Amino acid sequence: METTTKKAALKGGEWLIKESDAQDVFIPEQFDEEQRMIAKSCEDFIAANVAGRLDEIDYQKTEGLMPELVKKAGEQGLLGVSIPEEYGGFGKDFATGMLLTEATGGGHSFSVAMLAHTGIGTLPILYYGNEEQKAKYIPKLASGEWISAYALTEPGAGSDANSGKTRAALSPDGKKYIINGQKMWITNAGFADVFIVFAKIDTDKNLSAFIIERNYNGVTFAAEEKKMGIKGSSTRQVFFNNTEVPVENLLSTRENGFKIAVNILNIGRIKLAAGAVGSSKLVVSNAAKYANEREQFGKPISTFGAIRYKLAEMATRLYASESALYRATQDIENAIEDLIAGGMETGKAKLKGTEMYAVECAIMKVHGSEMLAYCVDEGVQVYGGMGYSAEAPMDRAYRDARINRIFEGTNEINRMLTVDTMLKKAMKGELDLMGPAMKVAGELMAIPDFGGEDDTLFAAEKKYIKNFKKAALMVAGSAAQKLMMELAKEQEVLMNIADIMIEVYVAESVLLRTEKLVSLQGEAACTERLDMMRVYINDAADRINIAGKNAINSYTSGDEQRMMLMGLKRFTKVNPFNTKEARRRVAARIVDANKYPF
């Protein structure tokens, strides 16, 4: 992979208070040939083994088909790309693993099974297991000989995972833990050989984690759940009735299970965004092909402005989400490399590096899943009546996409997590939010700067992003100061603030990617990318304005309210821009390519 000259990287969340240089960010156009070949091998595997069998997979017509496919993927090396070589993998970096995850995105239920296995099913052992545990389990998981599952959720413990009632007690001889409890919504439960199971030992306040094999006594399963989408993935309840687990299968230390769950979910969140990007590329490509084939009023529907708007808007949101995804990915990769260089063990460095960017992981989970939701919804609309038919691909895409706003913590939880993590960083002194927020508050009382306009290519957009950050700091700072301890209870306000932060991060990311692309390829080669960047930032201004108004109006009044609303209007002001013509140019490129071409 191409690299840039490294300088002090921004810490997680620092993008809100500092400027980034386009040359310091990684963009997906920089993936090298080897990385692209790895991704292509995954796409080829799905095309050859999955794409033609989607109905068979969804209706679970052939017993053992899904585990057979996962094992076959393992035989071709797709399960071990990020596994160290000493455990039978290829030892590739975090960014390569993310690109592979994107390539898996078009596999529908198969993608869910494979990513649950390689992610939340394998990583707890890889990152938290001792040498004996890793030597016993990881090579088999990397090859696909064994398939894994992750058992955290319970009937009464979803978002509040630490409230689970599954219990473990040490046997009288001290050699085994006796586990009793129930887990639900467990992906791969129908065929997994190994389960990462979370339970509280005795009266502990926090969870512990255990490695439980399928053939242990007292492990039983309910029937397959009937689901709205991802019908081909196995989802069952798992019961533990006096299940005896060797003490050496305690993962990490006692009561460290909740930390394991949180840290593994950080990785799961950003990987979910990568899968959403891959899925969306397929959706946009299918919509473009259908729009070119379907004729009405004597010509293809791809010639009509209403359809072209949809294709362009899908592509714009996708391009923006992808820009932010790989910006965050490389930040995590750089942090991991720095930690390893400082002497930290590789597994711990990967966890710590991801934890440092927990805010960005949560942002990408929300934005990626909601971007995909938009794409599949509009994809159905492009297909019209055929979009509602199970004979066309949008039916499955629409249903399968819905789970992504629930998986890996609901989007509501992730929005609140975004703000909460930022504020905690500030309280710990890791992030100086108060200083910049106070500066913005002072700016509200000052006369606006009407200095001369900079007419360089990206000057206007850079000014917009700088002002968007001021809007975020103004709203978040005033809410924290005004509501103080009550802010945690004001979930609507928290979600308003999160929406502003998400838009700021993604808008800045799409600007940085496009600026770097222009520096590499020239302005003429990036016409449609410049259009998508400008459309996204133009619309982000409105979205920030609406979220800011809703927040300000809910906790202020009188002169304070008027002043803040005037400030918000100033910070979200953008110059007039013809988005219609910009979208038409983007759509024309998609229609000519007959696919998503960016």
Which helix (H) or strand (E) covers residue 151, if one does?
strand 148-151
Q: How distant is the alpha carbon of residue 113 from its chain centre?
A: 17
d(CA 171, CA 574): 67
Of residues 406, 411, 470, 421, the one with CA closest to residue 441: 470
End-to-end CA distance of the chain: give it in Å, rounded: 19
Beta-carbon contacts of 23 under 8 Å, excluding residues fewer than 6 positions away, are 4, 5, 516, 519
What is the dihedral sign for C-alpha 217, 218, 224, 225? Answer: negative
Residue 185 DSSP SS3: strand
- Name beta bridge partners: 448: none
Q: Which of 322, 279, 282 is nearest to 28 (CA)?
A: 322
CA 201 to CA 196: how far, in whole Å? Answer: 15
Tokens of 515: 């600026």
Q: Which two tokens stand for residue 405?
A: 């706003």
Backbone phi, then psi, for 409, in 5-degree steps?
90, 130
Active-site entry in 102, 408, 461, 508: 408
Phi, psi for 363 (deg, rounded to 5)? -60, -45
Strand 299-300 and strand 235-246: the pairing is unpaired
Give the DSSP letter of residue 175: S
Sign of CA dihedral 540, 546, 547, 551: positive
Nearest to 361 by CA among 472, 283, 430, 262: 262
CA distance 546 to 279: 29
Structure tokens at 32: 């090298």
- Of 53, 113, 32, 108, the C-alpha closest to 78 is 113
* Cα–Cα distance, 251 to 226 (Å, whole number): 32
**Structure-block tokens of residue 451:** 């200095």
User: Which distant-in-sequence residues (6+ apart) come within 8 Å of 192 by Cβ?
Assistant: 117, 121, 147, 148, 149, 186, 214
Tokens describing residue 16: 């809100």
- Neighbouring residues of 71: CB distance < 8 A, sequence distance ≥ 6: 144, 145, 147
Report phi then psi at 546, rounded to 5.
-65, -45
408 carries an active-site annotation: yes
The neighbour count for residue 270, using CB atoms within 10 Å, is 26
Residue 153, Cβ density class (10 Å: 0-12 exposed, 13-18 middle, ≥19 buried): middle
Cα distance between residue 318 and residue 140, in whole Å = 36
Is residue 233 within 8 A of residue 190, CB to CB? The reply is no
Q: How far is CA 155 from CA 158, 165, 183, 243, 548, in A?
A: 7, 9, 7, 19, 36
With contact defined as beta carbons under 8 Å apart, do 533 and 510 qualify? yes
Residue 291 and residue 13: Cα distance in Å, rounded? 41
- Catalytic residues, by residue number, are 408
